[in-house]
Structure 1
Amino acid sequence: MSILGAIFAGGQARRFGSDKAAVEIDGIAMLDHVAAQLAPQCDALVVVGRQWQGLAAIADQPRHGLGPLGALAGALVHAATEGYDAVLTSGCDLPDLPDDLIQRLSPASSVLRGQPLVGLWDVRLRPLLIAHLDQSADRSMQGLIEKAGARRVDPPRALANINTPDDLAAYRREELRRLEDPRSSR
């Protein structure tokens, strides 16, 4: 199975107050942390909704402003055009993804419970998603998950999802605690 990795990074980061994709954790931009986690699990990696150095950029489909569903549609359209079988997705604000997402989420389509942007999506879902975006006002990932019959898979642990400066501060505190006591794990 050929997998395209796609990082969703087109949001406005209103709750964060600045460009959260570029905020540094241990001297590395958060989006680059996500890329480092996804890259070994995919055949290629793209960023959706913006330009980012070192990654191919693709646009939301069928147009900008549709949130994560537009990003997923863009990734699925690109994957179908390029001959991929599935798309492994994540938001740009999840810097500690598991390194076994493909195994956990296979077969597609599925998402991590509690983190609906982290998913493995069958490219054949593309027409259903495009029709949904054209015909429905529902822009929620939960709505698509239900409509597509995607499975919800338990994550191995709670994942850090950094949406606010307080989330970032808590993540940094947890990282320090983990470094001080290597026996602890998230």
Structure 2
Amino acid sequence: MRVLGAILAGGRSSRFGSDKALAMIDGRPMLEHVAERLDGQCDGLVVIGRDWPGMIWADDRPEPGLGPLGGLAGALAYGRDHGFDAVLTSSCDLPALPDDLLAMLGAPDALLQRQPTIGLWSVDHADGLVAYLRSDRSRSIRAWAETMKASTIAWGDGLANINTPEDLAKFSRSERPRSSR
């Protein structure tokens, strides 16, 4: 199975107060930490929702401004159009992804219960997700995942999600495990 890693990075960062993807951790932007963690588990990597120097990027689908689900739709379309079977997704504000994330999720379609932007999805859903988004239903990844009967993995309580400058400060002071075990 060829897996594309996709970083969902098109959000407004309203709670953070500035662009989260650019927030510095150990001298590097947060998005680059996420890229490093996904890259070792995937056959390719793409940033969704924004241009990022030195990385391949793609737009949200069917249009910008639809939240993480629009980013997921863009990732699925990119993956399908470039010969991948599945897409492993994460938002750009989860810099301590475990190195065994792909194995933990297992097979498509699956997502983490506590962090629904983290999921493993078949690219076969690309067109169906665009149709779902155009139908004016909930734009929640969880709501769409329920319609797909996706597996929900009960892990992620301790996974650092950086939503505020305080979260970033706390994360910067913490020890960071590399595995979910």
Is this a same-fold pair by TM over 0.5?
Answer: yes
Please identify which structure carries the higher helix content. Answer: 1
Match of 1:21 in 2: 21
**Aligned residue number for residue 36 of structure 2:** 36
Separation in structure 1 between the aligned mates of residue 113 and residue 55 of structure 2, nearest angstrom? 27
Does the CA-based 8 Å contact 1:102-1:120 persist in structure 2?
A: yes
Residue of structure 1 in register with 2:113 after alignment: 113
Query: Matches of 1:67 and 1:60 in 2, distance apart?
Result: 9
Cα distance in 2, alignment partners of residues 157 and 137 from structure 1: 28
Counterpart mapping for 1:14-93 below 5 A: 14-93=14-93
Name the TM-score, length of structure 2 as normaliser.
0.94
8 Å Cα contact 1:98-1:156 kept in structure 2: no
Cα deviation for residue 127 of structure 1 reads: 2.6
1:7 corresponds to: 7
The Cα shift of 1:165 comes to 0.8
Following TM superposition, the consecutive aligned residue runs of length 4 or more in structure 1 with deviations greater than 4 angstroms are: none
Contact 2:115 2:156 in 1 (8 A): no
The number of aligned residues is 179
TM (norm. structure 1) is: 0.91
User: Is the CA contact (8 Å cut-off) linking 2:114 and 2:157 kept in structure 1?
Assistant: no
Alignment pair present for 1:96 and 2:83: no
Q: CA RMSD in A?
A: 1.8
Percent of residue pairs identical: 53
- Cα separation, 2, equivalents of 1:119 and 1:106: 10
SS of the counterpart of 1:174? coil
Structure 2, gaps ≥5 residues long: none
Q: Deviations over 1:50-86 (max 9, x none)?
A: 0111210100011111111110000111111111100
